[in-house]
Each structure stands twice: as structure tokens, then as C-alpha cells.
């Protein structure tokens, strides 16, 4: 499913038209290749806060080269600024002082990360300054261009050493389609990260359940979790059994064919995971459906089926697995929401209700979980799948250009974000909803 407009815009005549007519210029995004260095270049670090001193060491454990003293000839692949030391609005100028001279020194698909303190954990002038960081990163994300991304990571006091897995994700091509996001580390749950023995296979020895695994985004999630070392247990409806089985055989995984809305589905899944695998470490609620109609024409079946698959099933399955003690210590539960659940969408009152409910599920579980178990969600924007290929040309064009990257994302972009949540190094990443949307212009 090639992006024809993107290919055209890269041709000599296309480049000329894009420039003269001010058309969107979607840059081919770099994506992660297994075995390649996480960052193909050097990262400049700066700032004076709680993380400044340890930053170089944290990046070094990931094999990422960094410098505090950039020169005038190198193109840099990333910038990390520790803003946790900013305690009042007049100090925010430190952002301009650090970034402005470096903005013309960036390589293609550059990465920018600003580190702050969760505003809710501080007060007075410091709270004002820390909250202000969000406007800076969201705006820079919209203007950086060239396939670049910009994120704000709020690191709670005591969680400094737990930022490694997040820096690895946000500085690497794994986060190709994630931009303008705010991530919280250690704000709820633990402030510690579990050790990662093998950075290339962080999920070695772990079991991952993926619903709706036979195709689309679910298939990519299964592939990426397998690449990272997990044994994947795929779930899908009986109609998709043959695709599910052949994929799971290819990935040396296991499968279970059932409808997740079935009355006894949570019990069957829990029983299967406990008996055959001794528990589960990663639970990805990916299965989802749309049944679009404006509310005036919304039949009961459309409403019920969408809420049942997208929200009630993840909720019931999560509760059953937790109540039965099937989720192992340090495990992660991951929901798949949608931009529609944040911004709303015409014809999708049922779908947006269910997807906003997935965000509610993260909120409700995040403070309840114990034993280092985390809950987070992704909210994909326009992802190029067979489903979106069927959308009429004009609607599809608008849908995929209305973001800071002027293109749709790939299923692998959602899968990489899920793999970051799933890593044992991310035990302090809890209660987050990260959009995988190329910083879509819709919604917050």
C-alpha cells in the first residue's frame, strides 16, 4: 500500500510543485531495523536539572552517543533537554537558548525530548513553569519538519533511573509516527525499572496475549513482540482461524480461537494462559470493530457490538486475569484506544464512546494495580491498513495529510509503541495514553 502522493512529492517535479504551491511534503520516515543501532548519530544533551548528570550514562547503556558540547559542523540526530531544573517562568528562556542554535543543525528524522517534572507534583511558580513545557513541545512538533518528532517526558522525583527504556524508544526510529506526546514516568505505581538483560530481546521468556492477532495492526503487534523475545498467544474469531494459526506457527506461538465477547471468554482465556503458559506477562487488547452511523440512525446492534468488542471485553478480560492472579508480577496491560476516542468523529458515537472508555479503563486500573503491573494505552490516528485503504480517495487523502508528518502511519508504528510499554524496563511507565498519530491536528 504505497503512498503515491508521497512518492510524487519526492520526485524532481513533485518537489518543485510542493515548494511553489505550499503543498504538504511528507518525508519518508526512518523505521527501526533489528540489529541496527538505536540512534544513527549523536544526541546533544543540555539543561540543568535532576537528570542532567546521569543523562550521558543512561544513553550510553543503550549504545547512544551523546555530547554536551556540539560543534558547528556535525548534523545531530537528537536533542535531549533536562528542564526539571526550571522553577519559574523567567527561566523558560533556557529552552530558546538551548534549542534555537541547534535547530539548523539537525539530521533527517531528528528526535527531540524535553524532560520535566510532573506539574501536579510541584506547586507555585515551579508548577507554572513545568506546565508551560507542554506548549513548547507541542508547537515544536508541528514545526520541526523533516520527519522529526518532539516529546515531553515528565519524570517523577525518584524515577530518574527508570527513564532509559523511554529514551530508547523516543530517540530511535521505533517512535517514527509518535510526536507531540506527553509521557509520565513514575507518576503512579513504582518509580523503579526492572533490569533488561538483553536490549535486543527485552521480552525473552515472557508470554504475550494479543487479541485480534490474525491481521492488520494485531499481526504487527504479534510480530514485534515475537522479535523482542516473547512467546505470543494470539486470539481471534473462529472465522479467522486459518490466518491466525499460520501466523502463530510462523512465530512459534500459540493460539486460541474465540469471540472475546463470549460470556465465558475471559474464563477460557485465563484458564488457557494459566494451564499452558503458567500465566501471562503482556496483555494487548487489540481486537476492535467499527459500525459507523450517525446517532440519528444508530441501531441497537451497532451500538451494542462496538461497545462489547472494544470496551466491555477488554474490561472483563483484564479483571478476570487480575482476579485469578494470571498476570505475572511486572506484567503490562495495554489497551488500543483511538484518536476518535479523544477528538470524536462524525458517525462514530458508538466507536468513540468505546475508545474513550478504554482510556477510562487505564485511569481506573492505574492506581489499583500492584506487583509492578502497569496499564497504558495507545491511541492510533490514521494507520494505513486494508481497512483504511477501503476509505474513498478524497476522505483518505484528507485523513492522512492532516498531521504534522503529512502521511499515514504503519501498523508497525503502533506495534513498536506497544513493545515499549511491554518492556520490563518500562515498569515505571504507568497510566499513559500515547497517540500514534504523527501529531494529528485533531483533538488535544
Task: Note the Cα 107 to chain centre separation in Å.
Answer: 23
Total interface residues for ligand NAD by CB under 6 A: 27
Q: Of these, 62, 94, 133, 309, which contacts ligand NAD (CB under 6 A)? A: 309
Q: Is the torsion defined by CA of 416, 227, 203, 337 positive or negative?
A: positive
Task: Note the Cα 111 to chain centre separation in Å.
Answer: 15
Nearer to ligand NAD, 59 or 436 (CB): 436
Q: Do residues 167 and 427 touch, judged by C-beta distance below 8 A? A: no
Q: Of these, 373, 383, 404, 428, which contacts ligand NAD (CB under 6 A)? A: 383
The whole-angstrom separation of Cα 286 and Cα 212 is: 6
Q: Which stretch binds ligand NAD (CB under 6 A): 7-15, 173-181, 247-255, 283-291?
A: 283-291
Q: Which stretch binds ligand NAD (CB under 6 A): 110-118, 120-128, 286-294, 416-424?
A: 286-294
The whole-angstrom separation of Cα 145 and Cα 405 is: 7
Q: Do residues 181 and 247 touch, judged by C-beta distance below 8 A? A: no
**Structure-derived torsion over alpha carbons of residues 203, 258, 357, 290, reported in degrees to the nearest 10:** 110
String of contacts with ligand NAD for each residue 158-197, x by CB under 6 A = ----------------------------------------
Q: Of these, 287, 321, 365, 410, which contacts ligand NAD (CB under 6 A)? A: 287
Q: Minimum distance between the CB of residue 336 and ligand NAD, rounded to whole angstroms?
A: 4
Q: Minimum distance between the CB of residue 436 and ligand NAD, rounded to whole angstroms?
A: 8
Q: Is the torsion defined by CA of 198, 204, 209, 214 positive or negative?
A: positive
Q: Do residues 105 and 69 touch, judged by C-beta distance below 8 A? A: no
Which is nearest to 282 in space by CA: 208, 343, 216?
208
76 is catalytic: no
Q: Of these, 286, 328, 349, 426, which contacts ligand NAD (CB under 6 A)? A: 286
* Kind and range of the H or E run holding 271: helix 265-277
Strand partners, 130: none
Q: Minimum distance between the CB of residue 326 and ligand NAD, rounded to whole angstroms?
A: 18
Q: Does 348 bind ligand NAD (CB under 6 A)?
A: no
Nearer to ligand NAD, 76 or 382 (CB): 382
Which is nearest to 225 in space by CA: 245, 262, 253?
253
DSSP annotation of 291: -
Q: Does 359 bind ligand NAD (CB under 6 A)?
A: no
- Scanning residues 384 to 403, which ones bind ligand NAD (CB under 6 A)? 385, 387-388
Nearer to ligand NAD, 63 or 262 (CB): 262
Q: Which residues lie closer than 8 Å to 72 by C-beta, 6 or more apart?
A: 105
Q: Minimum distance between the CB of residue 234 and ligand NAD, rounded to whole angstroms?
A: 9
- Scanning residues 69 to 128, which ones bind ligand NAD (CB under 6 A)? none
Q: Which residues lie closer than 8 Å to 16 by C-beta, 6 or more apart?
A: none
Nearer to ligand NAD, 132 or 343 (CB): 343
Nearer to ligand NAD, 133 or 210 (CB): 210
The whole-angstrom separation of Cα 281 and Cα 373 is: 9
Q: Does 240 bind ligand NAD (CB under 6 A)?
A: yes
Q: Of these, 45, 179, 261, 407, which contacts ligand NAD (CB under 6 A)? A: 261
Residues that bind ligand NAD (CB under 6 A): 211-212, 214-218, 235-237, 240, 259-261, 286-289, 309, 336, 338, 380, 382-383, 385, 387-388
Amino acid at each position: 500500500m504505497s503512498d503515491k502522493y508521497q512518492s510524487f512529492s519526492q520526485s524532481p517535479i513533485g518537489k518543485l510543485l510542493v515548494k511553489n504551491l505550499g503543498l504538504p511534503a511528507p518525508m519518508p520516515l526512518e523505521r527501526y531495523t533489528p540489529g541496527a543501532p538505536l540512534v544513527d548519530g549523536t544526541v546533544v544533551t543540555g539543561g540543568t536539572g535532576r537528570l542532567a548528570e546521569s543523562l550521558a550514562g543512561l544513553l550510553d547503556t543503550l549504545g547512544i552517543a551523546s555530547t554536551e558540547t556540539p560543534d558547528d559542523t556535525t548534523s545531530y540526530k537528537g536533542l535531549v533537554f533536562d528542564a526539571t531544573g526550571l522553577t519559574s517562568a523567567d527561566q523558560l528562556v533556557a529552552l530558546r537558548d538551548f534549542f534555537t542554535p541547534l535547530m539548523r543543525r539537525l539530521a533527517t528524522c531528528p528526535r527531540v525530548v524535553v524532560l520535566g517534572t510532573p506539574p501536579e507534583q510541584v506547586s507555585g511558580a515551579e508548577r507554572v513553569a513545568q506546565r508551560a513545557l507542554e506548549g513548547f513541545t507541542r508547537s515544536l512538533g508541528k514545526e520541526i519538519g523533516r520527519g522529526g518528532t518532539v516529546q515531553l517526558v515528565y519524570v517523577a522525583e525518584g524515577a530518574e533511573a527508570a527513564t532509559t527504556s523511554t529514551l530508547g524508544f523516543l530517540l530511535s526510529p521505533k517512535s517514527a509516527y509518535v510526536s507531540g506526546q506527553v509521557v509520565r514516568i513514575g507518576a503512579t505505581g513504582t518509580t523503579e525499572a526492572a533490569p533488561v538483560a538483553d536490549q535486543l530481546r527485552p521480552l525473552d521468556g515472557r508470554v504475550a496475549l494479543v487479541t485480534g492477532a490474525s491481521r492488520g495492526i494485531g499481526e504487527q503487534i504479534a510480530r514485534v513482540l515475537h522479535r523482542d523475545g516473547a512467546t505470543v498467544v494470539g486470539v481471534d474469531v473462529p472465522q479467522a482461524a486459518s490466518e491466525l494459526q499460520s501466523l502463530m506457527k510462523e512465530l512459534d506461538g500459540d493460539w486460541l480461537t474465540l469471540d472475546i465477547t463470549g460470556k465465558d471468554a475471559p474464563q477460557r482465556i485465563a484458564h488457557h494462559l494459566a494451564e499452558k503458559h503458567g500465566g501471562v506477562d503482556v496483555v494487548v487488547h487489540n481486537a476492535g470493530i467499527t459500525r459507523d452511523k450517525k446517532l440519528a440512525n444508530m441501531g441497537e446492534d451497532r451500538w451494542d457490538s462496538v461497545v462489547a468488542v472494544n470496551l466491555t471485553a477488554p474490561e472483563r478480560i483484564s479483571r478476570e486475569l487480575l482476579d485469578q492472579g494470571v498476570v505475572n508480577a511486572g506484567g503490562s496491560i495495554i489497551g488500543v484506544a483511538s484518536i476518535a476516542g479523544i477528538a470524536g468523529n462524525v458517525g462514530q458515537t458508538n466507536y468513540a464512546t468505546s475508545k474513550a472508555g478504554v482510556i477510562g479503563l487505564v485511569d481506573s486500573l492505574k492506581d489499583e494495580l500492584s506487583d509492578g503491573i502497569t496499564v497504558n494505552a495507545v491511541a492510533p490516528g490514521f494507520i494505513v491498513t486494508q481497512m483504511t485503504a477501503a476509505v474513498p480517495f478524497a476522505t483518505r487523502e484528507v485523513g492522512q495529510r492532516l498531521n504534522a508528518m503529512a502521511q499515514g502511519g504503519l501498523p508497525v508504528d503502533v506495534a513498536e509503541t506497544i513493545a515499549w510499554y511491554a518492556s520490563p524496563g518500562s515498569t515505571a511507565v504507568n497510566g499513559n495514553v500515547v497517540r500514534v498519530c504523527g501529531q494529528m491536528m485533531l483533538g488535544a
